Chains A and B, each alone.
Chain A
């Protein structure tokens, strides 16, 4: 089955969550092998997720707040 770009786009939510069925995954791979536009789009969107994982800031709760909250938990 040959996918259109719109069909590929509708598969992206499942593609990025790793939930595509095998047949759809194969069809997506086939489309991406021949469509430069979609290949760049998918690559960019994967990279954005990767940037989030590598550079997205995980805030650290300040140590004094940790101590204060832990004491409250022990009292309660």
Chain B
């Protein structure tokens, strides 16, 4: 692919998918600063490896983003005493509390309930029900089977149902 074609393609992909990858990473890591880093690493990696073709490119970008987020999660786990991480966490909790005052009770409860899901269920719920990816693209992004995506989506909805029972 020519450099200018590649640049235009990457720009278009960034416009289309940056918020989606950011949402996936922020939901997975529960840390917006780290999620920004994940978006940056994802699109730099995508730019370096971009080839022409008709493959499911959105699923491929999400797959890179998911892997980068998992890597970030593992790196963070290895440095539990990092005061910068703690400070970011405190900031996030404060911001979250402020949001809950402003936003409706149901939305806040839903938000909290999604965060309470285990990571495999949370990622599938975010990609399928929030971001609207289809089963095939979600499976490709996470490198799991389509039946695993379907089962995890059902389990995620069942767990959320328990926490949202008073609103249903």
Listed in ascending order, the chain A residues whose CB lies under 8 Å from chain B are 12-14, 16-17, 19, 44-45, 47-49, 51-53, 55-62, 65-66, 68-70, 72-74, 76
B82 to chain A, nearest CB (A): 21
B60 to chain A, nearest CB (A): 16
Contact: A76 with B36, CB < 8 Å? no
Contact residues of A: prevailing secondary structure? helix
Given A13-B151, A48-B160, A58-B23, A53 and B132 contact (CB-CB distance below 8 Å) = yes
Could you say which residues of chain A place their CB within 8 Å of the CB of B160?
48, 52
Give Cα distance in the complex from A73 to B6, angstroms.
11
Given A45-B161, A61-B36, A76-B48, A13 and B19 contact (CB-CB distance below 8 Å) = no
Tally of B interface residues using CB under 8 Å: 46
Q: Which of B69-124 contact A (CB under 8 A)?
A: 106-107, 110-111, 114
Give Cα distance in the complex from A16 to B154, angstroms.
8
Could you say which residues of chain A place their CB within 8 Å of the CB of B154?
12-13, 16, 45
